[in-house]
Amino acid sequence: MKNKLIMAIALVMALVAGWTATTTTAQAATDDSLAQVQKSGKLVMGTSPDYPPYEFQATVHGKSQVVGMDVAVGKKIAKDLGVKLVVKSMSFDSLLVALQTGKVDMVISGMNPTPARRKNVDFTHTYYQGGYSIVINKSDKGIYKDKDSFVGKTIGAQTGSTMYTESKKQTSGTTVKGMTSVSDLILGLQSHKLQGVAMEKPSAQAYVANNKELAMIPSKFNLSASDTSASVAFAKGSTSLVAAANKSVDQIRKQNLVNKDYLPAAGKYLKTNTVNTSMLHYWKAFLKGIEYTLIITVCSVFFGFILGVLLSLARMAQGGVFATALRWLATAYVEFIRGTPMMVQVMFVYFGLGLIVNLPALTSGIIAISLNSGAYIAEYIRGGINSVDKGQTEAARSLGMTKGYTLRYVVLPQALKNIWPSLGNEFITLIKDSSIVSIIGVSELIFQSNIVRSDTYRGVAPIAVIMVLYFIMTFTASRILNHFERKMQHD
């Protein structure tokens, strides 16, 4: 039995691996990138809006949206192509994956066209020249002078960024801590977990201008030309699209549009940002987060339950080769899902399946969580069915009921009563764990709190707010579930 189980698991893994290999090689076709964008009428730009003045979240006419000089660059490229610009936010370290898997058409995110990145994506000419600085707490002014003053201390840099790689390479005796978002790094700085944060100079200036407790120092990093320039990235081989974008980029350079128009415009949004930072002001964002969190949870438990019933039945199938195969497959599935992190599954569905069918983030999130939840629910159901006394089935069968009828009308109703508490638990767990889909950019509660954090430059308050909101949701849900549980116990 053990050996067969291992074989079944190996088979599933081999299938997954084989499929991944075929889908990644299938990409290198002829270049119709420009024609495709023009046909769809829109150009999707991926960016990580935690980097003012390049890109950041701001409230414009009462609505939170991504603004900044990179968005202006994106708009110009889209306009020159005669299409509409669509901005998609995600974490900086997901951007290039999103580009390679076709989730976005281009990446503009203050990104340096390094040789390592050039291996995987194509870049346009440079549209802006940056350089590194280090942000510190103003109270530490005089203690730290440049990258070499942090011996025995910790500096932070965004994961996947060139600052992270260079800080690792060019400092010694300094701990370099990577975090997904620059807003988190600033928070780490303010709570003294970090003594410095490395980022591009214009961004450092923006953070310092927005926060009286921060200051900046020169980095003194040894940088190559590619490390100080920002370019637009396109999928490898999209020659026609890059050529078209280069025309816009060249104009931007020639007319000095970034310095003359885009940066001053971004600066204005930066100021409006500091007007109202009360959490109440953002109730709409939090409400939207709650809405998405609940949609994801309810859908996932619903589909997870259906999948769970099927899986548990498959796991208990008896007689014949077919039943045995079914049993092994279901067992392998359950083991595999329970043995891999949900976060990886979410990314796999979004980016991996995305190579075949381009699913929106919300759908991908619901699919991944349902698939995950199904495996757990299957086990609860199996346990529930097994806990129904054998005599019940025997009695029903001897009364002449068919197998299916017995299962449906005698066993399952009793089983449901037994598994109800576990199902309720699963629901409550998912309210909390669905937050994982924020990594693929679904606007659930955590995602919204990140937006509020970058919008207000306040780190702790939004976290406290969502903590309370999560508790209200789970507490209410558990009250409701308890009520039904008590009702079921009456008979």
When the beta carbons of 166 and 433 are compared against ligand ARG, the nearer one is 166
Least distance (Å) between residue 108 CB and ligand ARG: 9
Least distance (Å) between residue 254 CB and ligand ARG: 23
When the beta carbons of 66 and 431 are compared against ligand ARG, the nearer one is 66
Least distance (Å) between residue 228 CB and ligand ARG: 9
Least distance (Å) between residue 200 CB and ligand ARG: 5
Angle at 164 between CA 218 and CA 444, to 5 degrees: 115
When the beta carbons of 181 and 370 are compared against ligand ARG, the nearer one is 181
When the beta carbons of 58 and 366 are compared against ligand ARG, the nearer one is 58
- Cis-peptide into 202, omega within 30 deg: no
Distance (Å, whole) CA 12 – CA 105:
32
Least distance (Å) between residue 143 CB and ligand ARG: 25
When the beta carbons of 218 and 421 are compared against ligand ARG, the nearer one is 218
The neighbouring-strand residues paired with 67 are: 56
When the beta carbons of 149 and 167 are compared against ligand ARG, the nearer one is 167
For residue 196, CA distances in Å to 136, 161, 264, 302 come to 5, 16, 27, 46
Least distance (Å) between residue 157 CB and ligand ARG: 8
When the beta carbons of 182 and 330 are compared against ligand ARG, the nearer one is 182
Task: Kindly report the backbone phi and psi dihedral angles of residue 382, in degrees, each rounded to the nearest multiple of 5, phi listed first.
Answer: -60, -45
End-to-end Cα spacing for the chain = 41
- Computed from CA positions of residues 323, 327, 333, 336, in that sequence, does the dihedral angle turn out positive or negative? negative
Distance (Å, whole) CA 156 – CA 150:
11
Least distance (Å) between residue 146 CB and ligand ARG: 18
Q: Are 328 and 8 within 8 A, CB to CB?
A: yes
Q: Are 5 and 335 within 8 A, CB to CB?
A: yes
Neighbours of 409 (CB within 10 A): 11
When the beta carbons of 73 and 465 are compared against ligand ARG, the nearer one is 73
Least distance (Å) between residue 158 CB and ligand ARG: 6
Identify which of 241, 248, 234 has the alpha carbon closest to the alpha carbon of residue 36: 241
Least distance (Å) between residue 411 CB and ligand ARG: 55
Distance (Å, whole) CA 480 – CA 491:
19
Residues with Cβ within 8 Å of residue 312, at least 6 apart in sequence: 330, 377, 378, 379, 381, 382, 385
Q: Are 199 and 157 within 8 A, CB to CB?
A: yes
Least distance (Å) between residue 71 CB and ligand ARG: 11
Identify which of 415, 440, 274, 411 has the alpha carbon closest to the alpha carbon of residue 343: 440
When the beta carbons of 71 and 410 are compared against ligand ARG, the nearer one is 71
Contact set with ligand ARG (CB under 6 A): 48, 50-51, 54-55, 92, 109-112, 158, 161-162, 182, 200
When the beta carbons of 109 and 126 are compared against ligand ARG, the nearer one is 109
Q: Are 312 and 378 within 8 A, CB to CB?
A: yes
Distance (Å, whole) CA 419 – CA 387:
10
Task: Kindly report the backbone phi and psi dihedral angles of residue 147, in degrees, each rounded to the nearest multiple of 5, phi listed first.
Answer: -55, -25
